Structure 1
Amino acid sequence: MGFPGTWMTTSESMVYRVVPKCACSTIGQILYYSDHGHFFDGDIHDATEGLHKWAQEDSQGPIDRVVRARRAPAFTCVRNPYSRILSSFFDKICGIQRNGNRYRGKLVPMLVQKYGIDVGGADGSAEFDQIASFRRFLLFARDTIRWRKPMEPDIHWSAMSGHISTFILGGGRYDRIFFTERFDEGMQAVLDAAAPPHRVDLAAIPRFNESASHGPKRAHPVEAYFDDLAMHLMHEIYRRDFELFRYDFANPANRMPLGEIDLDEVHAKLGD
């Protein structure tokens, strides 16, 4: 199985399991900076050197060796499921991607036709009912995750626990899982344990939100998008995320976790 979705510094100081829509661009740039003393010029997801990535064949040996020997702190980052799915909707469904096209080509036209979703016209600039469209998208996301129809679930809205489990099932163990909502605290603990070649001042690090300009601005507070039916769908597809990572299912307005993550519980429940 290996360690898909795993990145590692070239100095082998830190190992990171990427979870989409959970500050992965910022974390990737921090890893790059910690080795080289400067940021990657562009979207870190496009970097093909200066950072080990499991998707690059020549990186797999070093990652496998370090992870199995537990020679470097391994970590990942999670986010409130309500905020994460909204971010996926506005970025991937409503937004025009950095290549100038809609995400995944025919995906959005299919959603418009089969689920009645409105995305603000051809260029996403027209006003539309964000709440109604999001709730229809959530039904589609549930269909992909529950029945894998009309397509396989996309990495940007598949459950965080699914991403995180692959690292455990491959033979890895996390030293830390922290919250995007407490980013500086969690990332600093990782850096302290790693002691990378270049010091990283988190207070001075920009947030590399590569999707910030892709889609329309969210017009309402998070909780406005989730009526009883939407919350039922969220529970159906993200129950394990809410439970393992201690987020508040009952109150979409509360973005903060209710408690600390139990790493032993995560490894036990996701390692089956």
Structure 2
Amino acid sequence: MGFPGTWMTESESVVYRVVPKCACSTIGQVMYYSDHGTFFDGDIHDATSGIHKWALEDSQSLIEENVTKHQSYAFTCVRNPYTRILSSFFDKICGIQRNGKRYRGNLVPLLIQKYGIQVEGDFDQVASFRRFLLFARDTIRWRRPMEPDIHWSAMSGHISTYIVNGGRYDNIFHTETFNEGMQSVLDAIEKKHEVDLGAMPRFNESEGHGPKRAHPVEDYFDDLSKHLVYEIYKRDFNLFKYDFENPGNKLPKGEIDLDEVHAKLGE
């Protein structure tokens, strides 16, 4: 299995397990800058040099040795499940991707046909999102009409592969307190170049892909929607200390217990 979704600086100062829709573009650029003193010109997901990634064959043996021996500081980042699934909907379902096409080709036509979702014009965002939520649950629970997508599969699933295959995290922080969390990582590692988190741009790879959210977060989640979200993301809410009861509260309710995460996701 190895370490899918794992990135490491060229200097091997730090290792990061990517979790989609959790500030991964910005984190990747911070890592790149800390080695090179400049940001990657383009989307960091497209970088094939200047940073090690498990998806690059030449990087795999380096990452595997580093992670299994815990030679570098290792971290990841999580996000409120309510805002994460909403972001996935507006970016991946409603939006046009960097290649000028719809995400995954026939996915949106499938959703229009099977779930009655609308994404064009002045559509009802709340109704379409709730139908998308049914689809996301079907993919995760029954793996139909397709396998679950990385952008809406549970964060705990992404994070667990790193642990199960022999890795250990030194830090897991919340996207909602990004600067404090990312600074705690930077303070713990040796960098070739200092990164000023307050002054750097935010690299939001999905920004502008889809329509703007027209309502507050809580308006998208009625009682049934909350039930579906909890069915999909129960472990995420519990392990990463988010508030299931109130979709309008994006902030975590407490600190993440790393020992608990390793114990429960390492089974």
State the TM-score, normalized to the length of structure 2: 0.99
Task: Note the C-alpha offset of 1:96.
Answer: 0.4
Q: Which residue pairs with 1:14 in the alignment?
A: 14
Paired residue for 2:152?
Answer: 157
Is 1:263 equivalent to 2:258 in the alignment? yes
Shift of 1:220: 0.2
Give the residue type in structure 1 aligned to 2:89.
F
Counting only pairs closer than 5 Å after superposition, residues 54-73 of structure 1 correspond to structure 2 as 54-73=54-73
Residue matched to 1:211? 206
Q: 1:173 is matched with which residue?
A: 168
Partner secondary structure for residue 7 of structure 1: strand
Q: Distance in 2 between matches of 1:87 and 1:140?
A: 15
CA distance in 1, matches of 2:76, 2:194: 20
| Whole-Å separation in 2 of the counterparts to 1:235 and 1:13 | 37
2:223 is aligned with 1:228: yes
Alignment partner for residue 253 of structure 1, among 231, 248, 261? 248
Deviations along 1:150-187, one digit per CA (max 9) or x if unpaired, are: 00000000000000000001100000000000001110
The residue matched to 1:186 in structure 2 has which SS?
helix
CA separation in 1, counterparts of 2:186 and 2:65?
A: 21
Note the C-alpha offset of 1:67.
1.0
Which of 176, 186, 189 pairs up with 1:191?
A: 186
Q: Sequence identity, in percent?
A: 77
Q: Which runs of 5+ in 1 are unaligned?
A: 121-125
Which whole-Å CA distance do the structure 1 matches of 2:83 and 2:231 have between them? Answer: 16
Instruction: Provide the secondary structure at the position in 1 that maps to 2:198.
Output: helix
Using the TM superposition, give the Cα deviation of residue 68 of structure 1 relative to its aligned residue in structure 2, in angstroms. Answer: 1.5
1:205, CA displacement in angstroms? 1.3
Q: Give the Cα separation in 1 of the matches to 2:61 and 2:70.
A: 14
| Equivalent-residue separation in structure 1 for 2:110 and 2:69 (angstroms) | 46
Residue 142 of structure 1 corresponds to which residue in structure 2? 137
Q: 2:132, 2:218 → 1: CA distance?
A: 16
Q: Which amino acid aligns with 1:43?
A: D
Aligned equivalents of 1:106 and 1:34: distance in 2?
Answer: 39
The offset of 1:65, in angstroms, is 1.3
SS in structure 2 at match of 1:204: coil
CA RMSD of aligned residues (A): 0.5
**Regions of 4+ moved over 2 Å:** none
Q: Which residue of 2 aligns with 1:88?
A: 88
